[in-house]
DNA sequence: CCTAAATTGTTCAATTTTTCACTATTATTT
DNA sequence: AAATAATAGTGAAAAATTGAACAATTTAGG
C-alpha cells in the first residue's frame, strides 16, 4: 500500500528510463550511473535519483545501478510485468494506427479487439484484430478481462463511448478525441490531445520561447 | 517582446479553453464566466483567470467574458490566426492517421506533404497529400515555408530525421517516435509518447492511485 | 590497510505552479 | 440613487516540483 503521492512527471520519466534501460540491456551494458541515465534521456542526474528514491534503493553507492536489475524494478513499479489486454474504440485511421503501433506490443499492451459502428468495418479484421460492433463491448471486456480502453472516435462521440466503457467496468481510459470527457473518479483517464501539442509549438514559435534544456 | 515565462501547462490549457469557446460560439452563446469555463474543461475558476491574466485583461468584472472576443484573443496568443504548413515524415499507419486527423485541419494546421523512404509509397497520394522521397524534404520546406515537422517514423530513425529537419531550418518538431531525440536549443521539440501515456495508466491502476478532480 | 575517486541516497533550499481570499467593477433591482 | 449580486483581476499563501549540496558507501590503487 503505497502511501506517498508520486508526481505524474516522475511516472512518465520512469517510463522513459525503462525504455532507455531496455536499450542498454540489449547492448549488453551491465551497470550505469544516474548521470549517464540523465544524459541519455535528457534530464538531471539528481532528478533520476529522486525519481527512483520514491520506490526504494536500487543502486550501489560508488558504483551505480545494475541495468537489468533496475529495469526489472521499474517494470514492476509501472505494472508492466504482466500483459495488459486493451480495447480500442473506433476503427478509423487513428484507431487502426494505434492497433498497428509496435510501441504498444513491445511494452506489454495487447490489443484484443476494436469496436466501431460502421457496418462495413464490423467483423472485418485489421492485422489480426477483429472489429466488433459496439454491442459486443461488454462481453469482450468481461471475457478478456480488459482493464483499459482507448478512445479513437470523433470528439462528439467521445463522452458517450467513455460512459459505455465506464458502465462496463473499465479501469482506465486513454482518450485521443479532442474533447473534454468526464468519468467517475475511480476511473483513470488520460487525454492525448494531438492538436494541443501542435499548438504549444505554435505558441512557442510565435512567442519566441527559448528551450531550456 | 513577452518577458514573462508562461507555464507550459497554461499554454496547453489555453488550447483547451479555445476549443471550448469555439463550441460555445457555435452554439451562439455570447458571454461566459470563468467559473463556467472551469466547469466545462475541468479545472478551477481561479486557474482560468490566472492563465488569462498572463496575457491581459479580457473580461468585464461583474459580467464575464465575451465568448467571441476571448476566443479571438486566445487564438492570437496561440498563434492560430494564420494557417501553419506542416510536413509529416513517415507515411506508415501513424503518419497517415495524423494526415487524416481532422483535428489538425480544424485548428489551422495544413499538412502540405508527407515523406517516406518506401518506393512503393513515394509519389502516391494519401487523401490528396503527396508522399515524397526524403530528398525532396529541403525543397518543399523552403518552397512552402514550412515551420513545423511531425516525426512518425520508427524509433531508430527518429534522431536522423530530426537532424535532417533541423538542417533544413525547421522551427518545431512534434515527435511521435518512442525515442529521446536531441535538437539544438533554438528548435522547439515536443514528444508525444503513446506508450508512456498507457504506462502512466497502468501505474495508476496497479498502485491504486486516486483521481483528484 | 589507508586514501582517493566515484556515485548513491537524502536533506534542504529554490523555484514553479496552484489555490485561496480579497478588492474592484459592472449590472440589476428596489 | 442606493443596495445587492455577480464576477474579473490580483496579491499572498500553500503546495508541488526541481535542483544543489553533501554525507554515506563502495571500489580501486598505492
- Please tell me which residue of chain B has the smallest CA distance to A213: B185
The CATH class of B84-196 is alpha beta
Q: What is the structure's pLDDT at A209?
A: 78
- Inspect the interface and report whether the beta carbons of B195 and A2 lie closer than 8 Å: no
* Fold that domain A8-76 belongs to in CATH: Arc Repressor Mutant, subunit A (1.10.10)
pLDDT at position B174, please?
97
DSSP β-ladder status, B31-32 and B64-66: antiparallel
Looking at residues A55-65, what average pLDDT do you find? 96
Mean predicted confidence (pLDDT) in B204-210: 85
- Which pLDDT tens digit goes with each residue over B41-78? 999 999 999 999 999 999 999 999 999 999 999 999 99
Pick B79's closest partner by Cβ from A185, A188, A202.
Answer: A202
B150 - beta bridge partners? Answer: B88, B174
Pick out the nucleotide with least CA–C1' distance to A59: C8
Q: Where do the structural domains in chain B lie, given as residue ranges?
A: 8-77, 84-196
- Per residue in B88-127, pLDDT (tens digit) is 999 998 999 999 888 899 999 999 999 999 999 999 999 8
* Residue ranges of E strands in A54-177: 59-60, 64-66, 84-89, 109-116, 125-126, 129-133, 148-151, 172-175
Task: Report d(CA B146, CA A78) in Å as an integer.
Answer: 39
Q: What average pLDDT does range A103-121 have in this prediction?
A: 95
CATH architecture of B8-77: Orthogonal Bundle (1.10)
Q: Is the CB of A175 inside 8 Å of chain B's CB atoms? A: no
| Nearest-by-CA chain B residue for A91 | B97
State the Cα–Cα distance between residues B57 and A143, nearest whole angstrom. 54
Which nucleotide lies at the shortest CA–C1' distance from A56? C9
Query: Is the pLDDT confidence value at B8 over 50?
Result: yes
Contact A209, B188 (CB under 8 A): yes
Nearest Cα neighbor of A42 from A69, A65, A19 is A19
pLDDT, tens digit, 9 for 90 and up, residues B155-167: 999 999 999 999 9
DSSP type of residue A134: G
**Arithmetic mean of pLDDT over chain A:** 94
Tell me the average pLDDT across A196-200: 96
Q: Which chain B residues touch A94 with a CB distance below 8 Å?
A: 97, 100-101
- Is B85 strand, coil or helix? strand
Give residue-wise pLDDT tens across range A124-182: 999 899 999 999 999 999 999 999 999 999 999 999 999 999 999 999 999 999 999 99
For B82, counting Cβ atoms within 10 Å of its Cβ (0-12 exposed, 13-18 middle, 19+ buried), the class is exposed
Report if CB A68 to strand C is under 7 Å: no
Do A16 and B205 make contact, defined as CB atoms within 8 angstroms?
no
* Secondary structure (3-state) at B139: helix
Amino acid at each position: 500500500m503505497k502511501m506517498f503521492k508520486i508526481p505524474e512527471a516522475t511516472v512518465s520519466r520512469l517510463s522513459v528510463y525503462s525504455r532507455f534501460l531496455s536499450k542498454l540491456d540489449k547492448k549488453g551494458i551491465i551497470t550505469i550511473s544516474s548521470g549517464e541515465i540523465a544524459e541519455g534521456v535528457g534530464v538531471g542526474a539528481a532528478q533520476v535519483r529522486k525519481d527512483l528514491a520514491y520506490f526504494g534503493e536500487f543502486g550501489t553507492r560508488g558504483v551505480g545501478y545494475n541495468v537489468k536489475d533496475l529495469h526489472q524494478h521499474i517494470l514492476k513499479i509501472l505494472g508492466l510485468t504482466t500483459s495488459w489486454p486493451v480495447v480500442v474504440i473506433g476503427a478509423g485511421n487513428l484507431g487502426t494506427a494505434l492497433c498497428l503501433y509496435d510501441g504498444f506490443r513491445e511494452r506489454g499492451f495487447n490489443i484484443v479487439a476494436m469496436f466501431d459502428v460502421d457496418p462495413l468495418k464490423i467483423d472485418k479484421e485489421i492485422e489480426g484484430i477483429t472489429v466488433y460492433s459496439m454491442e459486443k463491448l461488454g462481453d469482450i471486456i468481461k471475457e478478456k478481462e480488459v482493464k483499459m480502453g482507448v478512445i479513437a472516435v470523433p470528439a462528439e462521440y467521445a463522452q458517450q463511448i467513455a460512459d459505455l466503457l465506464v458502465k462496463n467496468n473499465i479501469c482506465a481510459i486513454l482518450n485521443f478525441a479532442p474533447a473534454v470527457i468526464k468519468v467517475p473518479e475511480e476511473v483513470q483517464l488520460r487525454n492525448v490531445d494531438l492538436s494541443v501539442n501542435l499548438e504549444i509549438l505554435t505558441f512557442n514559435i510565435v512567442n519566441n520561447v527559448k528551450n531550456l534544456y
